[in-house]
Chain A
């Protein structure tokens, strides 16, 4: 167990270091920096600009900047934002919280819908109900989240049923606790719907395929012959047997908690990581971009790690394989 854990952790560390080097490498290819725009400002003298560049060390070579940045990471502040003039980590965290609220809810909903629907559909494989559901998921699969969220937005704006954009209404600070909760929840409806609609078909199809395959297995026919109830058969026998690919997929959906909602956030102007990062990209606020990329990679890696652990726990074959070595 320890060896398995250590190997996975080492792998994760390698990936994170690699990604940070890659991000720095791309940044070194970049023409210009945050202070270039200031050259157009007549109140900025050339000396002042040079002083600023020196102060923020953008004039140093890449290797030096990288080492200093690693030092900042070790201190837990992920470098310095030029635009906000503060360390990056608190900025990112404030935005990441909002993103996690959104994507956490959406992911939970996706799996709560995908598991029963997928099992239900696999049980009726090829019958009208299953075919209808397959068509519905195919349609959802084709319409990308950009078109979906814009369409939802148009609908909401024209009907006026739901608030569009942002996370809270004007005057949020003065609301009572229950009112605050209701307000945020009503703002979440649209983005969460868009996220669920774009992620559900993939999970649903995987659940359906995996359970359908498990249902074909001889041991299930035997269990059926023993007269075990249909419900127990589906959820206690077929679903665990089908769990392997689903756990991997679950790990992936944990991994994309920070990166999956980027576009939806921008479209719905949810104050999460997406719009923040886009702004940073447009302003060439280098360390914010690198910090964002690193943070979301951290989530991806952590998601994979969680999936590995779950698989280790759920699948005796993997346990045997890793301890046998």
Chain B
């Protein structure tokens, strides 16, 4: 390439870097206050919405709460939409057959918000104890009957999870337990797979990429990203038998997820 060509390329890269910096600044200046305002609006208006929804639908309290959490997540998607491209696939006819146990890889705090991309609102999360320490979310999480794994343990989770599933809900697990620091899938806990074996309810593997660019662990500012969520075909636990059924099911699901995540990352590039 000529010297003149190099100079033009360098200039173009510098201009792109400046534009990108401005977009990141605008994103953080706009998105954070908007999320806080949306959260406050949710806290203030939720009691009225809850009563109204109860009168109109007669749904149980935990289901109404989950629906409102899902709506809150939809609002978050709208706030992020100017800066984040969301894409989802694998939801035939825009639905998921319920009940089911969904397992998803974990990259970012905002993975949970991205669950508003799912075409189902009756969704209970199983999570560790620390999110229950956020006072602005904790009462709603308890109302929605989310499961605190570290407090109730796996045996309590199996019991409470079975009850939730008996009401045709989606029970969501992050089987890695923690956000991945390098984007690679980590060790899986056995809990969701034991629950699937015990109840006979299928596992729906979900794969997500891009939220680690949006907001990875150890960074507090947002960056524009392309978030890509894919639902894989449900895996029936009835195909796995014997003492190590949950281990075999876990390995099978993890293998499927690793293959799909690799493919999704390639497509994203």
Partners in one complex: no
